[in-house]
Amino acid sequence: MSIKNQPLLTTMKQGGLTFRFLEFGDVYDIRFEHDQINLFKGNSIDGMPANIYLRVHDNSKIHFTPLLGVKSNSDVQIHDDHVIYQGRFENIKYQVVMRLDAFTWTYAVKLEAPTARIVDLMYGQDIGINHEHAILNNEAYNAQYVDIKAFEHDGGYTLCARQNEGRAQLVQIGCKQTTRAFSTDGFQFFGLSVKETGQPDIMEEDHLANFIEQYEFTYLALQTNRFKLDQTHDIVFYGHYVADHPDIITKPRPIKLTAKNEAWHQVPISGTDAHMLDVKRRINGRSPDERHFKEMYASFQHIESRDGLMLSFFTRRHHHVVLNRKEVLVKRPHGQIIVHGDVLQAGERVMTVTHFMTGLFASHVALGNNQQHKLISSLRSAQDLFKTAGLRIYVKLEGIYRLLGMPSYYDMGSHTARWVYIISGDVILIDVFAMADSIQQTLTIESLEGRTYEFIVTCQLVMGQHPYMYDIPTRVTERDITIFVPKEAMAAAHYPRMKYRISSSQDWQSVSEEDAFGCTSQHGLLIMRFARSDNIRLDIQATLEDRFEPLNSATYDIANQEGTRFYTTLSPLLSMKHPTEQSRLDQLDTQLFWYAQNAMVHYASPHGLEQFNGAAWGTRDVCQGPIECFMAIQRMDIVRDILLKVYKRQFLETGDFPQWFMAEQYHTIQSHHSHGDIIIWPLRALVRYLSATNDFSILEETIPYFIIKDNDFGNPHTLLHHIEHQIDAIKSNVIAGTHLPAYGGGDWDDTLQPANPAWTTKMVSGWTTALLYETIRDLAAVLAETHQDQAVEARQLADAIKDDYHAHILKDDIPAGFVIFESAKKYLLHPRDKTTGLRYRLLPLVRAMIAELTPPELLDTQIDIIDQHLNHPDGVRLMDAPVKYHHGQKTYFSRAETAANFGREIGLQYVHAHIRYLEAMANINKADVAYEDMFKIMPILLNQKVRHAVLRQSNVYFSSSDADFATREHARLGFGLIKESAIPVKGGWRLYSSGPGIFIGYWIWHALGIRIHADDLFIRPSVPRALDGLVIDFMYRGHPLRIQYHEGPIKVMIDGRLVTFISMTNRYGMKGHRIPKNMLRSKDTVITIDIWFEATDKQAHINKKAKS
């Protein structure tokens, strides 16, 4: 049998735009050529985000209804050139006629009431205006680059939206009659409570927001004046599309509407039979009381509260529990990605599932490549507007099936998730779990009171990248259904035997979409109906081979224990104890546990909660987060494997590396270009590995190159040959007359890609230069004894880079963000910058300190610059001010000047960069500063450290802290408010980042100072005075150590004896101690190491900051 996965559509085209309608009159999409004008594709079950709402004002109460599509009670008639919607609401007769005239569409609304009523109308339209594939890749990202203008005039407001990335398209929304208010983002319109109620929040408000918000859901909305409806009344809304609009928006376009007041049409009355399922009928869990939690949990810690009410907490075993009252306060829904299988090998046998608190029990289920092998669809709306997405559960209560919506609370473990629904007389548990080493996922439904219910489970199957691509072949045998890869899918060419199997503990009946929802459109839904039961178990298995692995019978408790053990034993840091700092250390311990889980997602199945499509390693990313994490936890075998995988991607023709690449059978899918710093990262990672292990045998490993012209591997050589080719490429891509690396397509900050193509060969990044110097210098040191000729060459190159850095980059004792080598050198992002208005850039400042390029005598000056201009209450920012925004017009930097949303890198507080700042502070022995500033970026109890932080999920890495400015212009004018904690800061995108791995590496390597050097233990702590007396239990190569930190003159004791070892001091006086591994051989007894450190003068630094 085949599950239909292609909607039945009616097409309307009138010489310009194409509208495609679903059977109940919802718009599936609006198209022009390959571009999609709306943001979200509609469906016949959830409808579409766009709609017209009629509101009836009855004293202080507002009654409302949508007028279009399946969400309405309208009868609909679809014609070739128009669509008619008719119905009644609150004894008001209404009609809407949609017509298309080339590039303009109109909705003509007619209202009639027998008695006078006070009413108004709201029209909302979601906007994409980009290539269909760009939108499907990520709707939220697309919205960040749509520039919006609102124009006020005698008739109210006209709204315009222009796409700043790709084809410059424009949509204009207006009304023939007078409008009183507008809004521009779906979060203004639908709000946050919609996750619980299913109704737009704005329906309860007097008027729309009346200001522009540029966030992640472009939704243009207009509201009419209230008017007295005591006779027939006509209102016309319109939309107009311009395919090519290269100029920025300065005024609305004059639109001549041909629409006239419509007569009443005759529309056949639709059937009114109730269907088995309706996404509007739902049940939410009741708020739990304190007694319930005491029965369910033995311990609480890190309790988050507001107004005396608990919002969330953690257990001693690192579970994170979130109450329903918190979920309706956050813009980013609580969710989690579980990865399991051969996670440490990051190969094909890795399975993943994403789930969200709002009753989305499984989504984005995939084995191997998480983009092409997707079994179940992803959440595409942060407000969970589309209940067809993912796996959902309906329960029959009092004769009616109700969708399980918002739970009472949501419990996340590393390999488990639990939704708890407290309902009348019962508690329903939904558990999802996976064994750490298996490629099987399990979902269970249980009534704690043993009551029986009829359940229906719906799954939107994809078997590819996106929904609605092709029908899906299946085979049902008894209680199992096997889902096969469609022959049209890309996966079929690479993994023709790939399949999934869903097995049930109970008999089930397949239900058609028509029987369930009353629609004939096909949405790829597998609908499983179960007879009355108090427990059901579903197991999802996957394979790339002919046979599935044996089904395991693991329980939630077993999976939970094994999963927690996997992550607690992954780290060598077993415990941290301190007499006065224990509370903060417990927070850090919990954060490290979850960051380890986050880091494995990024490594083994790259994607995130917002950036749900991924499946590729970024060369820069994998050489940072995974490499630094695995080195810190002493898994050098994995580091070695990553290095060989990355060097296999080196281009034979250029010696460079791809910006990103896919693995296994999809190795031909990759970028053939990269930013100027990418070529450095594999070499930096290799140098660190060699320095730690002395494993020079890796240099003799024979691996292929990647040949661009063949788009495949070939021409195998030793890794040493690869390195020599890499060095030659680095030497050839420099500014003429210098040893400074050319900027190429950019550096770490993706928003600063050059707008002027000529700058790719004329501009230098101060950050890239420092990174290159550090790498080549360390290469020379590590090769000094085994490869002397290469070491001498590297040393000479490092010295030349250093000389050119001081001659060209370090100007007036401050490193320039960029230098353009033209007839006269031009400094950008530097006090001498006379063009961009930007004076300081964080990255070159901190990277030079890490690379020890900053002269010691300049440290205080440069730290003062960071404190005065870059450090904020929620972390350091990338620059002292935002790049100027001219509504999409490019002058210097591409994305920084085209992004309309002030978030992510555009908002300047990128957590990854903050961790590097912590590393720099540790390297120059500013341990007190690093320790205090570390807590600014830890989401657990963040409001205790950053009082103006908006609520956010606490157990997941946020890539940025975004000041809550509505527009780029507001950010420019109010940027100084961030330092005053006078503007809220919210969490950016989650998890898809090398940041969690870098954070783990920072704490173990740089703060605690524990690392491996030349196969020996090396300790160089940078701990604050506050941690005098810290005691940690640590596993070093299987040997149990207890390390005790003391403030005082530097010395080391082992088991109570004063010992002398090789001391290694960096340029800034930081002393480390190399302890030969043969002194730490005992596996039976704990070896105690006491180490003394010299603390920085914290109070002096605080006084200095206050004075400045």
- pLDDT of 1099 higher than 60: no
| 1082 — pLDDT class (breaks 50, 70, 90) | low
| 295 — pLDDT class (breaks 50, 70, 90) | confident
pLDDT of residue 960: 96
Distance CA 799, CA 693 (A): 26
pLDDT of residue 759: 85
Angle at 523 between CA 519 and CA 524, to 5 degrees: 130
Q: How far is CA 474 from CA 189, 345, 378, 526, 676, in A?
A: 40, 31, 20, 10, 47
pLDDT of residue 258: 80
pLDDT of residue 1107: 42
Please provide the distance, in angstroms rounded to a whole number, between the alpha carbons at the two ends of the chain.
Answer: 73
pLDDT of residue 15: 86
Q: Could you tell me the two tokens for 972? A: 């420019």
| 355 — pLDDT class (breaks 50, 70, 90) | very high
CATH topology of domain 338-568: Beta-galactosidase; Chain A, domain 5 (2.70.98)
| 272 — pLDDT class (breaks 50, 70, 90) | low
What are the domain boundaries of the chain?
10-242, 338-568, 608-732, 734-854, 859-999, 1008-1104
Torsion over CA: 352, 356, 362, 366 (sign): negative
Q: How far is CA 230 from CA 156, 233, 1036, in A?
A: 23, 8, 83
Question: pLDDT digits over 770-786, tens only?
Answer: 999 999 999 999 999 99
pLDDT of residue 1064: 85
Question: pLDDT digits over 485-518, tens only?
Answer: 999 999 999 999 999 999 999 999 999 999 999 9
- Which member of 750, 799, 864, 1033 is catalytic? 750
Q: Could you tell me the two tokens for 817? A: 């963000």
CATH 3.30.70.1290 corresponds to the domain 1008-1104? no
Contact 659, 619 (CB under 8 A): yes
Q: What is the mean pLDDT of residues 44-58?
A: 97
How many helices (H) and strands (E) would you count in the chain?
Answer: 27, 64
Q: What is the mean pLDDT of residues 475-484?
A: 96
Q: What is the CATH number of domain 10-242?
A: 2.70.98.40
| 271 — pLDDT class (breaks 50, 70, 90) | low
Q: How far is CA 714 from CA 617, 650, 705, 1093, in A?
A: 20, 11, 6, 51
Q: What is the mean pLDDT of residues 465-472?
A: 93
Name, in order, each residue with C-beta under 8 angstroms of 145's C-beta and a sequence gap of 6 or more: 163, 164, 165, 898, 899, 900, 901
Question: pLDDT digits over 805-846, tens only?
Answer: 999 999 999 999 999 999 899 999 999 999 999 999 999 999
Distance CA 180, CA 198 (A): 26
Give the lowest-confidence range in 9-18, 142-151, 710-719, 1092-1101: 1092-1101
What are the residues facing 968 on neighbouring strands?
A: none
State the amino acid at position 313 in one-letter form: F
- pLDDT of 347 higher than 70: yes
Q: Does the fold of domain 1008-1104 match that of domain 10-242?
A: no
Share of the chain above pLDDT 90, in %: 89
pLDDT of residue 147: 97
pTM of the predicted model, to two decimals? 0.96
To the nearest 10°, report the CA torsion of 804, 807, 810, 813. Answer: 150
> Residue 526: phi, psi to the nearest 5?
-90, 120
- pLDDT of 104 higher than 60: yes
pLDDT of residue 1105: 47
pLDDT averaged over the chain? 94
- pLDDT of 1026 higher than 70: yes
Q: What is the mean pLDDT of residues 528-533?
A: 97
Angle at 841 between CA 837 and CA 729, to 5 degrees: 115
What does the DSSP assignment read for 1038-1089? TEEEEEEEEESS--EEETTEEE--EEEE-TT--EEEEE-GGG---SSSPEEE
Annotation says 933 is catalytic: no
198 DSSP assignment: S
State the amino acid at position 828 in one-letter form: L
Distance CA 113, CA 958 (A): 52
